[in-house]
Amino acid sequence: MSDWLKDRKSTIASQEEVMALLLALRAGGITEHALLDLFEKYPRRLFLNAAQVHGKLRPDSFAPIPCGQIQTSPLIIAHILRALDVMNNHKVLEVGTGSGFQTVLLSCLCEKLYTIERYRSLQAEAEIRFKSTRRNNIISEIGDGESGWPQKLTFDRIVLNAGLQDAPTILLEQLKTGGILIAPIMEDKIWANIVVYEKTHSGLQQQQLLRARFLPLISGIALNL
Confidence label for 53 from pLDDT (cuts 50, 70 and 90): low
What the chain holds in terms of domains, given with CATH numbers, is 3-213 (3.40.50.150)
SS (H, E, C) 107-158: HCCCCEEEEEECCHHHHHHHHHHHHHCCCCCEEEEECCHHHCCCCCCCEEEE
pLDDT digits (tens, 9 = 90+) for 18-45: 899 999 999 999 999 999 999 999 999 8
pLDDT digits (tens, 9 = 90+) for 99-128: 999 999 999 999 999 999 999 999 999 999
Q: What is the value of pTM for the model shown?
A: 0.91
Residues constituting the chain? 225
Give the Cα separation of 66 and 147 in Å (integer).
23
* Cβ–Cβ under 8 Å, residues 62 and 70: yes
